[in-house]
Amino acid sequence: MRTVQFKPWIGPEYEKTGIENLRILVLGESHYGDKGDEYENFTSEVIEEWAINKRLAFFTKIAKSVLRLSKEDYLSDEHRAQFWNSVSFYNYIQEFVGDGPRQRPSYDLWEKSRQAFVETINQMQPQVCLVFGYELWENLPSPENEINSNGYLTYVYDTGAGNKMFAGCVAHPSGGLSYSEAHPRITALINMAKLASQPTRMIADTFDSR
């Protein structure tokens, strides 16, 4: 198969204003459907239909997590669309894992999708990668560096031209995602990327790295 089978969704404001002036990549795990029916715009069509035009709980939970809204806060259709138009979204696994939910990627699918992920982040140059799902997190390519701060583990990837992407993980939207737990993790990750974007500050001056 081609290395990148499902091209990422890239919102029209992703490179202009992003979220808090950062390019943020939302990383999901996989699509499901009939084998052989994969096509490159599948991800973008899913986002347009189920995240923007319709209100699928999976995508609304992601938006509320990143925007640090509580369960009681209502995210209007306008603000939901604005969010998805400001971020990028990419599913890591580059083939359908099955024809319905709750089917898990095989070891081979995890391995085959690594290079596509590296190529994607090098092309898109995100500053933050929000990983939704712990199994996905455990299967990411090894980063160039790791940072431990306030009990959070952050992966630091070199995306070329001296740029860095800071990746952190929260629970899957369908598997125990808690806003109260996700919000401080996402805030810490965003603040880390903001500090790194300041040329007069070194990330090592603020965080212990190993």
4 inside domain: no
Distance CA(167)–CA(89), nearest Å, equals 14
3 inside domain: no
How do 163-170 and 24-28 pair as beta strands? unpaired
Q: Note the pLDDT tens digit of each residue in 37-93.
A: 889 999 999 999 999 999 999 999 999 999 999 999 999 999 999 999 999 999 999
Domain extent at residue 147: 9-209
pLDDT of residue 198: 80
Long-range Cβ contacts of 203-210 (<8 Å, 24+ apart): 203/147, 203/156, 203/164, 207/147, 207/148, 207/149, 208/147, 208/148, 208/149, 209/145, 209/146, 209/147, 209/148, 209/156, 210/145, 210/146, 210/147, 210/148
Q: How many domains does the chain have?
A: 1
1 inside domain: no
47 inside domain: yes
Here the CATH number for the domain that contains residue 186 is 3.40.470.10
40 inside domain: yes
106 inside domain: yes
- Local confidence pLDDT in tens for the 210 residues of the chain: 468 999 999 999 999 999 999 999 999 999 988 777 889 999 999 999 999 999 999 999 999 999 999 999 999 999 999 999 999 999 999 999 876 566 788 889 999 999 999 999 999 999 999 999 999 999 999 999 999 988 899 999 999 988 999 999 999 998 889 999 999 999 999 999 999 988 644 433 443 444
Find where tokens 């996402």 sit: 186
Question: Is the pTM here over 0.75, yes or no?
Answer: yes
pLDDT of residue 99: 63
* Nearest residue to 169 (alpha-carbon basis) of 64, 56, 26, 57: 26
Distance CA(148)–CA(154), nearest Å, equals 6
Q: Across the beta sheet with 24-28, what order do the strands follow?
A: 9-10, 88-91, 24-28, 128-132, 163-170, 152-160, 145-149, 208-209
Distance CA(92)–CA(111), nearest Å, equals 11
How do 163-170 and 128-132 pair as beta strands? parallel
